[in-house]
Amino acid sequence: MQHFKTLSAYLDYLGLPRPEHPMLSVFTAMGEGFLPCPKESSPPITNDCYSISFKKIVKGDLTYGRTKYDFSHGALFFIAPRQVLQWDTSVVYDQKGFSINFHEDFLKGTELAQQIKKYGFFSYSANEALHLSPREEKQIASIVENIDIEYHNNPDAFSKDIIISQLSTLLKYADRFYERQFINRKELSTDLLELLNRQLDAYFESGKLQEKGLPSIEEIAEKLSVSQRYLSDTLKKETGKSTTEHLQLYLIDVAKNHLLDPKKTISEVAYELGFEYPAYFSRLFKKKEGLSPTEFREKYLMN
């Protein structure tokens, strides 16, 4: 897989103009004009840059990770350094929108260098991109225009700080709009939660738990065709629990049924649930239930 360490090398590969700043490029066409067209297709590639883009795909599929997605409605999406991206010759873009690319070193020494790592949407897949309302699109376009103006100004001692500030503002708005999208797509979030529970039901019923232990979050997310971060963020909005917490609570519910069989020892229950060490099972159970497995069993039998 080809990897590009510099922004210039990445843009050269795409067939796009070289950046005016060695670590930052800004292409805009929100009103008049058109974005420059990148090369028509590419095998999987990675680079050391962040990308923030607003585009529409008129025809074809964009492959991000392992899945193909339709962007006919237009979306704002985010790519972090070293994520895999590829596309094919059938993709036709509406050349309106913008594309901001900056090397991760561009943020060094700034607060945004740490803040940007907290934005989960840089780990989302393309199907989880941010779909903007017309009003939101205008707000984002206004910020991008400010970045574009500063990018094309003669650089001075204030240039980088101003651009970093505008980038920070753009990301904060994106975070806000994602909150709105989660709310508006509550039905989809509920469906995702239901699909997750079905996956867990099937996994437990298959007997894989005793053989392999709990499924990994990566494995579950892949089965659901979503990214790990998006799955966790969706569950947080829907249930207040992360994916790991949801898995643990699901496991505890299963454990309760096993504990109701007085013929089984606590250790046997732990092994059946995929725990290598019964003591760890007991600690987890008490942490989640406030009772040890033995205390839970005694309380139930007393009732």
Fold annotation for 2-130: Jelly Rolls (2.60.120)
Q: Tell me if 234 sits within 8 A of 182, measured CB to CB.
A: yes
Fold identical between 2-130 and 187-302?
Answer: no
> Running DSSP on this structure, what letter comes out for residue 125?
-
Q: Tell me if 50 sits within 8 A of 104, measured CB to CB.
A: yes
**CA–CA distance, 214 with 235 (Å, rounded to integer):** 18
Q: Decide the pairing of beta strands 62-64 and 24-29.
A: unpaired
What pLDDT sits at residue 142? 95
The encoded tokens of residue 210 equal: 């005793």
| SS3 of residue 118 by DSSP | helix
pLDDT in tens, 78-112: 999 998 888 765 545 556 789 999 999 999 999 99
Which stretches of the chain score pLDDT less than 70? 30-37, 39, 56-74, 88-95, 126, 184-190, 301-303
Fold annotation for 187-302: Arc Repressor Mutant, subunit A (1.10.10)
Domain ranges across the chain = 2-130, 187-302
pLDDT in tens, 200-238: 888 888 877 777 777 888 888 888 888 888 888 888 877
